Amino acid sequence: MAERKMHDIFVYGTLKKGQPNYHIMTDPNHGKAVFKGIGRTIDKYPLVIAHKANIPFLLNIPGKGHHIAGEIYSVDDQMLQFLDEFESCPDMYQRTIKRIEILEWGGKDDSPEGRAAANTIECFVYSTTSYLPEWLNLPYLDCYDSYGTHGLRYINRLDR
Ligand code: PCA
């Protein structure tokens, strides 16, 4: 059987390990996601917590804000499609390709040759160009944590 195509995706928000939606990445019913390592956006972006549900949004304004920390996964078509629906893409977020600096390889099957060959990788990222102007005045984060000292805990869909 032909191998299914995998896609590199960089997550910076609630999909990261230890964050409220990480369980999605590990649920085989949604497809496959393989952790590859941790990274940081090459470009700077504003990352804000907005909306009454305290949702992290990476605003697609390169050059403004900080280099954003996150995790790199390799996902199959099924998981990518599930994530698009979950993230209300393209309405709430748009999935675009951004260049990510690899800070630490974490995957089991990344060969030493592979490690040496590249320290950046192009990944899909959920960011948005549809934001309210006042979001630009919110604090810009560089590493999202729902449970951080900001006190703005993410509110699950079902609890909104
Ligand atoms: N989920 C996606 C985009 C923001 C969010 O909470 C992510 O973690 O990258």
pLDDT of residue 151: 97
User: Does residue 136 belong to any structural domain of this protein?
Assistant: yes
Ligand 1 centroid – CA 114 distance (Å): 27
pLDDT of residue 51: 96
User: Does residue 157 belong to any structural domain of this protein?
Assistant: no
Ligand 1 centroid – CA 4 distance (Å): 24
Contact 43, 60 (CB under 8 A): no
List all residues 6 or more positions away from 115 whose beta carbon is below 8 Å from its beta carbon: 105
List all residues 6 or more positions away from 134 whose beta carbon is below 8 Å from its beta carbon: none
Structural domain boundaries enclosing 33: 6-151
pLDDT of residue 31: 97
CATH of the domain at 100: 3.10.490.10
pLDDT of residue 158: 81
Catalytic residue selected from 3, 71, 85, 87: 87
Q: Which residues of the chain have pLDDT under 50?
A: none
Confidence (pTM): 0.93
pLDDT of residue 159: 87
Ligand 1 centroid – CA 14 distance (Å): 5
Count of domains forming the chain? 1
pLDDT of residue 112: 58
User: Does residue 160 belong to any structural domain of this protein?
Assistant: no
List residues near ligand 1 (CB under 6 A): 11-16, 56, 87, 126
